[in-house]
Amino acid sequence: MKETPDAILLAAQISPHFERLGIVLKPNELMYERLGVLNPASARLRDGTLQLYPRMVAPGNISSIGSFRVEEHPDGTLVAGHCSFVLEPAAPYELRDQPGGYGCEDPRVTFIPAIDHYVMTYVAFGPRGPEVALAVSGDGLEWERLGLMGFRESEAPFADKDAAFFPEPVRSPAGVPSLAFFHRPTLQVSVGKGQRAGAELGTLFPSMREGISIGYVPLDAVKASIQSLCTVVETHRLTLPLADWGHIKVGAGAPPVRVREGWLAVIHGVDELEHPSGAALLRYCAGVVILGAEQLDRVVYRSQKPLIVPEVDGEIHGTVGQVVFPTAIDRRGDRTFDIYYGMADYEIGRGRLTLGP
């Protein structure tokens, strides 16, 4: 698709730039994190301090969600304090007795002033496979489970991942003031074959591959009962412009944040690479999209090339190689953001995203 002059001008104006700032957290020999500390959520607490909520993986691929208070030094370095746990697998939808593990995975956290709560979405990997679950907190430290996200039966996904809420209410396509969230309905082949699913997914028509959807929860219902956050009334797939990445599948990354052009989101995409041995290899990279401020289904901008590609050793080699997976964003200025991302499903990196002036 040929870009219009307006689109070219907007791309030049946004001109995202990413700079790596190093590793923030990595696993040690403690049993509960021996296999990985990765894919964190983040939040600014009410006192302004930064909290990270990583996925922590124990032997057997058993995942819990931790909590670290982050000390920020004047030179820009970060030091994570003592770890506590906000969610350990306990609910029936987080437990299972099948091979492959179980637990609470890949959280995202959004503070939503309209309901005065921190909202955590996470993947509950239980007896039915991966599903989106919710927890809420008044202070970002003590969390209460709400349960699984529930969709109308005709729109219920086989499985679901990569959910992240917008911080402000919007109008749904039906015109209802709502709390909106990204999610990624997941195909059975992805759940069953994981990294080996690339070739099969690549044979599907683009519209049938895994992509980002936007769900809507009526705001008035949530104000009446926080439990209503789990009841999804509308959900629609987001149609993204073509780009030179994310050909196998695309999913949400960090929660969206407001910029002057609309809603900025750092998302991930998956492509198939050819290994020197001739075997297929999946690569996870990340890029930027901006959605319309009033119409979330209007894509204002998508980076034509990935912004973050596995390049350093810790991103290329790890539990699952060739993976950068953004899950957290922390605003540092009007056009500057720190991005926290999983490196090869093993440790956590941080980088700085800067938009054009």
Mean pLDDT confidence for 203-212: 72
| pLDDT on residue 1 | 45
| pLDDT on residue 65 | 97
Domain boundaries, the chain: 5-17+27-354
Tokens coding 6:
């307006």
Q: Which residues pair with 136 in a beta bridge?
A: 119, 144
In the block, tokens 């920020």 appear at: 72
| pLDDT on residue 221 | 98
- Which fold would CATH assign to domain 5-17+27-354? Tachylectin-2; Chain A (2.115.10)
Q: Which residues pair with 188 in a beta bridge?
A: none
Bigger pLDDT: 337 or 84?
A: 337
Given a cut of 60, whether residue 317 has pLDDT beyond it is yes
Angle at 100 between CA 98 and CA 102, to 5 degrees: 80
How far is it, in rounded angstroms, from Cα 323 to Cα 255?
19
Q: What is the mean pLDDT of the chain?
A: 91
Angle at 40 between CA 35 and CA 42, to 5 degrees: 155
- pLDDT tens digits along 150-185: 998 777 788 999 999 999 999 999 999 999 999 999
**Residue 200 pLDDT level (bands cut at 50, 70, 90):** low
Let me know: does 184 contact 212? Beta carbons within 8 Å.
Answer: yes
Bigger pLDDT: 4 or 114?
A: 114
Given a cut of 70, whether residue 192 has pLDDT beyond it is no
How far is it, in rounded angstroms, from Cα 182 to Cα 255?
8
- Identify the sign of the CA torsion 283, 287, 293, 295: negative
- pLDDT tens digits along 24-58: 999 988 878 889 999 999 999 999 999 999 999 99
| pLDDT on residue 12 | 74
Mean pLDDT confidence for 339-349: 97
| pLDDT on residue 32 | 81
Mean pLDDT confidence for 91-120: 97
Reference 234, options 162, 168, 296; nearest CA is 296
User: Model pTM?
Assistant: 0.93
In single-letter form, the type of residue at position 339 comes to: I
For 172, the 3-state DSSP assignment is: coil
| pLDDT on residue 197 | 56
